[in-house]
Amino acid sequence: MLDTLRTLSEQVSSARSLDEALRVIVHEVRRVMKAEACSVYLLDPHSDELVLMATEGLHPEAVGRVRLRSDEGLVGLVCSRAEPVNVDDAPHHRAYKHIPGIGEEAYHAFLGAPIIHQGKTLGALVVQQSRRRRFLEDEETLLITLATQLAGAIAHAEAVTGFDNLTTPQRSDRPLQGISGAPGIALGTAVVLNPSRSLSSVPDRDSDDPEHEIQRFLQALERVRGDIDRLEQRLGDELPQADRALFEAYRLMLTSDSIRGKTIERIRRGQWAPAALRDTIEEHSRTFRLMDDPYLRERVDDIRDLGRRLLARLEETPGQARPFPDNGIVVSDSLSPTSLIDLPLERVRALVSRQGSGSSHAAILARSLGIPAVMGLTDLPLEKLEGRLLVVDGYQGRVFIAPSAPLVEEFRRLSEEERELQADLEHLRDLPAVTRDGHRIALYANAGLFSELDPIRGNGAEGIGLYRTEFPFMIRDRFPGEDEQTRLYRRILESCAPGPVTLRTLDIGGDKSLPYFPIQEENPFLGWRGIRISLDHPEIFLTQIRAMLRANAGLGNLHILLPMVTTATEVDQAQHLIARAHRELTEESDVPLPLPRLGVMIEVPSAVACAEALARRVDFLSIGTNDLVQYLLAVDRNNHRVAKLYDALHPAVIDALARVVHAAARHRKPVTVCGEMASDPAAALLLLGLGLDGLSVNAVNIPRIKWLIRNTERHRAQQLADQARTLEEARQVRRLLQSEIEAMGLGGLIRAGK
């Protein structure tokens, strides 16, 4: 059963269109369920009708013609109830709707399962039989399992087809909905990054040099042949004769004209080698898949395996370097901060990713660079996007593929207004972040993602509220030494002096790993992370602390921040090590080394509960809401499936923030928010009202947050915070804060345009 599911899902995922995917589904499900008819109905969101999209067993001409209201007939019942319907005599059921001429009269037994993807009902999968009987429980669970497994693949195929179907502009102007990664509007040309992990995600791309592509392909063929020979030599004697025949079969396929010749032919017609290979392999797979002989059907797996091997070898020989367009929109399956290192960032207009969510580090990086980003676009048809015009709306997490001219015009206007707003805010640079009623807020910048690129200065920040030291560690191939770290920290401290700079000690683990210090864990976010690693490896921690202290000589603007603290003991231990490093360094040198101020990050629920004990021990607290939200709400910050539950305005988060502010105030210690929440204008208004002393935000957002602060009154923000604390849902809080911002005339902070 699991094998059947796996093969079926793979076949559906690799289909090149929705029609093809659905044809495969009805054929296979009918076979597996031993049903006489199998059909798929999908909901057309424009007309809110269920459309018969594919069938085996009903009349083929009915496909596309049969349309039911979304609550009509037994299929409508499946969809409106979002649960299976199992009926022994369908024509006598009260919900049955007779549609003449489609051949349904012959069937009595009816079993339908809803197709649900990410909480949305897409349609129904139906099997029918002529005998009057209820389908067995096992059959029912099998159909439900098939429908759940196929839902994602159908959604993907729908997105691809929606894109193909560009004849109707309304269709193309329907955006793909993802998650906002970084605000802003961008128009540009799609550049697909590391596209070819699998055959199905190889993008279409034209080639200007077919001869080069053919050579590349022939080299790959040769290498795979060599691989197979070597594998045979290694395993040959251990394998039974029947299995050894496989090697011969592979060799034959490699030399056969059907793979070699057909791929070369496609390259000559203008495709680049990977896409030509993809199409050839898929054409073969299709032919074999439709064969009735089960042995031949199974050969599909061998063909695809061969295709994957060829692709891997093909990627070893570089294709022609593509010029990166001036207005590139980088599109990828997944994005990590390091995957962006080689990009010409000055020409990147936006980032779009199938995986990840708004609090993934790639999204944080995008925000810090001021590049709009949309994450978690699971249905993005990567293979179809290269070179296409995209419009990215980072505010609402939407991407329009090949949009119509009026839509492009509208977004150009909005993007122009954005630029004007940004320019209008320039004059705020040297003004303080002070409310209309005279309350001053410390406004700092977050930095460290790309130390060389962060626009730290020039945005009007008073200093750096969070420097993530792990990123310089991540882009090296070994731990940086004490001198190297000292030079790096010195540069940062000097660039902001006399303004304070908060260097956070190494925060690896979770989703940040070092290539030279791999950590394999079942549950990395609850595992060896942040301060836990530092305390278990005092040699790494002490080196870092010594470098920080040395960099601070003669400057005195260093603050040290400890990440992922869960108990007061960890602070005691870290303080002990810091004091030791300071003592040793003072003994070694004759330059006086000022003792830095020490702070603790509040980013787990236990730190909220122990905030008083922590505040008593250190000089300041800094709330890392990115992690605090994930741990309070039990929502993985990188998981797009639960991204809609990740909300920094959740009442539990607001309550935690208020507790920390209270604890810090009792010990007269300042408290700042350095998580992404502070860069969100609506949330920043709330933080002001809750009594935070400082905000540390992405450098590019500083003018906007300053604008907000300078246009509000603290006592009004306090009223809003009090009101927010009476609300039970995050969306109510957001509505409250956003309508206040609109009423203040600052709507340009929370949506596109001015």
Chain contacts with ligand PEP (rule: CB under 6 A)? 364, 466, 468, 507, 603, 624-627, 674-675
675 binds, among ligand PEP, Mg ion, none (CB under 5 to 8 A by kind): ligand PEP
Binding window for Mg ion (CB under 5 A); candidates: 139-147, 482-490, 570-578, 620-628: 620-628
Cβ–Cβ under 8 Å, residues 674 and 623: yes
CA-based nearest residue to 53, from 26, 16, 82? 26
Please identify which residue in 624, 689, 703, 748 interacts with Mg ion, judged by CB under 5 A.
624
* 3-state secondary structure (DSSP) of residue 173: coil
Exactly one of 361, 559, 640, 650 is catalytic; name it. 361
Per the annotation, the verdict on 610 as an active-site residue is no
Residue with tokens 């390259």, as numbered in its chain: 267
Q: Which is nearer to ligand PEP, 280 or 626 (CB)?
A: 626
Q: Print burial letters for 294-309: b (CB count within 10 Å at least 16), e (below 16).
A: eeeeebbeebbebbeb
Q: Which is nearer to ligand PEP, 627 or 680 (CB)?
A: 627
Tell me how far, at minimum, the Cβ of 603 lies from Mg ion, in Å.
5
Q: Which is nearer to ligand PEP, 311 or 466 (CB)?
A: 466
Tell me how far, at minimum, the Cβ of 493 lies from ligand PEP, in Å.
20
Q: Which is nearer to ligand PEP, 37 or 604 (CB)?
A: 604
Integer CA distances (angstroms), 384 to 15, 192, 200, 281, 379, in order? 13, 9, 11, 17, 12
Q: Which is nearer to ligand PEP, 23 or 504 (CB)?
A: 504
Q: What CA–CA distance (Å, rounded) separates 145 from 9?
A: 12
Tell me how far, at minimum, the Cβ of 232 lies from ligand PEP, in Å.
49
Q: What CA–CA distance (Å, rounded) separates 118 from 35?
A: 28
Encoded amino acid at 606, one letter: S
451 binds, among ligand PEP, Mg ion, none (CB under 5 to 8 A by kind): none
674 binds, among Mg ion, ligand PEP, none (CB under 5 to 8 A by kind): ligand PEP
Residue nearest to Mg ion (CB): 627
If phi > 0 it is left, if psi is from -120 to 50 it is alpha, else beta; for residue 446 that is beta
Binding window for Mg ion (CB under 5 A); candidates: 227-235, 520-528, 622-630, 649-657: 622-630
627 binds Mg ion (CB under 5 A): yes
Tell me how far, at minimum, the Cβ of 171 lies from Mg ion, in Å.
41
625 binds, among Mg ion, ligand PEP, none (CB under 5 to 8 A by kind): ligand PEP
Tell me how far, at minimum, the Cβ of 257 lies from ligand PEP, in Å.
55
Q: What CA–CA distance (Å, rounded) separates 98 from 95?
A: 10
Tell me how far, at minimum, the Cβ of 630 lies from Mg ion, in Å.
9
Work out the angle at residue 729's Cα, subtended by the Cα atoms of residues 358 and 373, and round it to the nearest 5 degrees. 15
**DSSP letter assigned to residue 517:** B
CA-CA-CA-CA torsion sign (353, 354, 358, 362):
negative
Q: Which is nearer to ligand PEP, 52 or 673 (CB)?
A: 673
Measured in whole angstroms, the distance separating CA 302 from the mean position of its chain's CA atoms is: 32
* 3-state secondary structure (DSSP) of residue 375: strand
What are the residues whose beta carbons fall under 8 Å from the beta carbon of 446, sequence distance 6 or more?
Answer: 368, 464, 465, 466, 467, 468, 674, 696, 697, 698, 699
Encoded amino acid at 726, one letter: T
Per the annotation, the verdict on 284 as an active-site residue is no
Q: Which is nearer to ligand PEP, 418 or 676 (CB)?
A: 676
Cβ–Cβ under 8 Å, residues 565 and 598: no
What track of x and - describes contact with Mg ion for positions 656 through 695 (by CB under 5 A)?
Answer: ----------------------------------------
468 binds, among Mg ion, ligand PEP, none (CB under 5 to 8 A by kind): ligand PEP
Q: CB-based burial of residue 519 (10 Å sphere; 0-12 exposed, 13-18 middle, 19+ buried)?
A: middle
Tell me how far, at minimum, the Cβ of 224 lies from ligand PEP, in Å.
42
User: Bridge-partner residues for 558, per DSSP?
Assistant: 501
Q: Which is nearer to ligand PEP, 175 or 624 (CB)?
A: 624
Q: What CA–CA distance (Å, rounded) separates 688 from 675?
A: 14
Q: Which two tokens stand for residue 621?
A: 């607290």
Q: What CA–CA distance (Å, rounded) separates 108 from 96?
A: 11
104 binds Mg ion (CB under 5 A): no
Q: List strand residue ranges (DSSP E) for 245-286, in order.
A: none
Q: What CA–CA distance (Å, rounded) separates 208 from 321?
A: 11
Q: Longest Cα pair distance anywhere in the chain, in angstroms?
A: 97
Q: Which is nearer to ligand PEP, 18 or 674 (CB)?
A: 674
Q: CB-based burial of residue 36 (10 Å sphere; 0-12 exposed, 13-18 middle, 19+ buried)?
A: middle
User: Bridge-partner residues for 600, per DSSP?
Assistant: 562, 621
Tell me how far, at minimum, the Cβ of 674 lies from Mg ion, in Å.
9
465 binds Mg ion (CB under 5 A): no
Binding window for Mg ion (CB under 5 A); candidates: 278-286, 357-365, 596-604, 738-746: 596-604
What are the residues whose beta carbons fall under 8 Å from the beta carbon of 74, sequence distance 6 or more?
Answer: 85, 87, 90, 93, 95, 96, 97, 110, 112, 126
Tell me how far, at minimum, the Cβ of 677 lies from ligand PEP, in Å.
8
CA-based nearest residue to 147, from 26, 64, 37, 35? 26
20 binds, among ligand PEP, Mg ion, none (CB under 5 to 8 A by kind): none
Measured in whole angstroms, the distance separating CA 405 from the mean position of its chain's CA atoms is: 29
Positions in 141-160 near Mg ion (CB under 5 A): none
Q: Which two tokens stand for residue 411?
A: 């977004």
Work out the angle at residue 389's Cα, subtended by the Cα atoms of residues 387 and 393, and round it to the nearest 5 degrees. 130
185-192 and 597-602: which strand pairing? unpaired
Tell me how far, at minimum, the Cβ of 509 lies from Mg ion, in Å.
10
Tell me how far, at minimum, the Cβ of 627 lies from Mg ion, in Å.
4
Measured in whole angstroms, the distance separating CA 178 from the mean position of its chain's CA atoms is: 9
Q: Print burial letters for 638-658: b (CB count within 10 Å at least 16), e (below 16).
A: bbbeebeebbbbbbebbebbb
Q: Which two tokens stand for residue 358?
A: 């708004």
What track of x and - describes contact with Mg ion for positions 544 through 583 (by CB under 5 A)?
Answer: ----------------------------------------
* 3-state secondary structure (DSSP) of residue 528: coil
Binding window for Mg ion (CB under 5 A); candidates: 13-21, 595-603, 636-644, 724-732: 595-603
Residue nearest to ligand PEP (CB): 624
Q: Which is nearer to ligand PEP, 172 or 368 (CB)?
A: 368
Tell me how far, at minimum, the Cβ of 741 lies from Mg ion, in Å.
27
Q: Which is nearer to Mg ion, 112 or 358 (CB)?
A: 358
> Catalytic site residues?
361, 674
Which residues here bind Mg ion, judged by CB under 5 A?
Answer: 603, 624, 627
